[in-house]
Amino acid sequence: MNEDLQMQDPLGDPKNGHILTRAIIETIHEPLIVLDEKLCVIAASQSFYTKFNVNAENTQHHLFYELGSGEWNIPALRNLLEEVIPKQSTVRDYEVSHDFKMLGKRTMLVNARSIEFENVGKKMLLSIFDITKERLVEDELKNLLHEKNILLEQKNNLLNEMRHRIANSLQLIASIILLKAGSSSSDEARKHLEDTHERIISIASVQRQLDPTGTDGTVNVAPYLKDLCANLTKSMIGGRKPITLMVYAESGSVTSDEATSLGLLTTELVINALKHAFPGGEGKITVTYTSEKDAWTLLIADDGVGYSMTEEKPSGLGTSIVDSLADQLEAKLTRESSSNGTSISLIHSIPSLA
């Protein structure tokens, strides 16, 4: 009787559980076929017949590679499957791209596993998952990402060009103001024009140094401050004064707006130190930036005479500018001054989300 049942059903004796196996095969959503040791089809799911427009008559008892119009006769896949049954191995997510007669260009994931039924030998379960849409979406996302990167690069190039043009225009305006200051007969007017010249130069310097903006809109603080101070040294000190300007900066990044405020604040404080801290003409200014996980600190210090020894106290337009920039950065501003020098620190703490 068992032999008669085996002839009726290629999966074998019902006592071996083939009724449940067939029920699973016939109801599974994705295409699934069962192969014998010679890779002949002995059963297939209805989803396989529907997907590839075939039927049981032209599928069962045919070699897997002969199905349809030989669409599955892919040498690499064939060699792979021929190793599954003898070695009792498993094939997982083997990707096949092929132009199928009824479906067109498709990308399939093939999974294969060797199984063994009692009294009927080894078999192979082969599942086929169509991932064509997923691959098309992935390719589209890759193309969109590539286009996005191109647009970001173009945007950064335009921004850099705009900053250079703004800086050049400011430089021209500053030069005109300096010429006016030189020809002014009023000491007070000359002083105001010179102050205006210095502040325009500081804005121009900040604009030039914003070039290192990343694709995420942030600026790496360390090279930004170093380049900014190098430019200040060149334009404000040069070889004319025995004053050194040093920068000590740790790694860290801020937004472009924050970098602008940091640059303007640093420039204002450095220029202020150059003007008032060294009546003897010699000294040192240090700019220090430290960064931690939830805070950063900017310290600008000099070894000059301090506020108490100078004519000007920490008040006026420069002080108002510094206070305003500190407010924009939401940073705590601290001033300390003595006969050994002046230090001004800003501490910005990132609010906790807890």
pLDDT score for 290 = 94
Least confident of 127-141, 155-169, 205-219, 260-274: 205-219
pLDDT score for 75 = 80
pLDDT score for 332 = 93
Q: Please write the tens of the pLDDT for every residue from 98-154.
A: 777 777 888 888 888 887 766 667 788 888 888 889 989 999 999 999 998 888 888
Place domain 218-354 in its CATH homologous superfamily: Histidine kinase-like ATPase, C-terminal domain (3.30.565.10)
Least confident of 174-183, 246-255, 276-285, 340-349: 174-183
Confidence class of residue 287 from pLDDT cuts 50, 70 and 90?
very high
| CATH dotted code for 2-130 | 3.30.450.20
pLDDT score for 211 = 58
Domain parsing of the chain, residue ranges = 2-130, 131-211, 218-354
Confidence class of residue 213 from pLDDT cuts 50, 70 and 90?
low
Q: Mean pLDDT across the stretch 228-254?
A: 85
User: Three-state SS string across the chain, please?
Assistant: CHHHHHHHCCCCCHHHCHHHHHHHHHHCCCCEEEECCCCEEEEECHHHHHHHCCCCCCCCCCEHHHCCCCCCCCHHHHHHHCCHHHHCCEEEEEEEEEEECCCEEEEEEEEEEEEEECCCEEEEEEEEEECHHHHHHHHHHHHHHHHHHHHHHHHHHHHHHHHHHHHHHHHHHHHHHHHHHHHCCCHHHHHHHHHHHHHHHHHHHHHHHCCCCCCCCEEEHHHHHHHHHHHHHHHHHCCCCCEEEEEEECCCEEEHHHHHHHHHHHHHHHHHHHHHCCCCCCEEEEEEEEECCCEEEEEEEECCCCHHHCCCCCCCHHHHHHHHHHHHCCCEEEEEEECCEEEEEEEEECCCCC
2-130 against 218-354: fold identical? no
Mean pLDDT for the chain? Answer: 80
pLDDT score for 71 = 78
Least confident of 86-90, 170-174, 288-292: 86-90
Q: Mean pLDDT across the stretch 201-229?
A: 75
Q: Mean pLDDT across the stretch 50-63?
A: 85
